[in-house]
Structure 1
Amino acid sequence: MAVSREKQSLDLVLVHERGYSNHPADGPTMKGVTQRVYDGYRKRKGLALPV
């Protein structure tokens, strides 16, 4: 079965964007998504921000 281009791309990205990191330039990041971006998403959706 052929692997989709999306799956191949995701596999390549996840090699570098795994798990949790807290780089001074980015702040808290999980799987390539910064806390700031995640909080903005939740706010736009009307969801409570994590404590």
Structure 2
Amino acid sequence: MAVSSEKQSLDLVLVHERGYSNHPADGPTMKGVTQRVYDGYRKRKGLALAV
């Protein structure tokens, strides 16, 4: 994907997936990344979980 296409895609996604939300179905979410997914990533990398 060309750099310009990546930027256009990211800009489009961030229109809908920006900021923080805490929906009952998803739990805490920041910019489209759920806390559960982020914790799993940090665990796989051997990093401390976010507090």
Q: Which TM-score applies when normalising by structure 1?
A: 0.91
Cα deviation digits, residues 14-40 of structure 1 (max 9, x gap): 000010000111100000000000000
Change (3 A) 1:40 1:2: closer
Q: Distance in 2 between matches of 1:31 and 1:40?
A: 16
Root mean square deviation of aligned Cα = 2.6
Which stretches in structure 2 are left out of the alignment for 5+ residues? none
Bigger Cα displacement from structure 2, 35-44 vs 3-12 = 3-12
Partner of 1:43: 43
Structure 1 pair 2/27, CA: closer, same or farther in 2 (3 Å)?
Answer: closer
Query: 1:2, CA displacement in angstroms?
Result: 9.6
Aligned-residue offset at 1:50:
1.4
Moved over 4 A (4+): none
- How many residues align? The count is 51
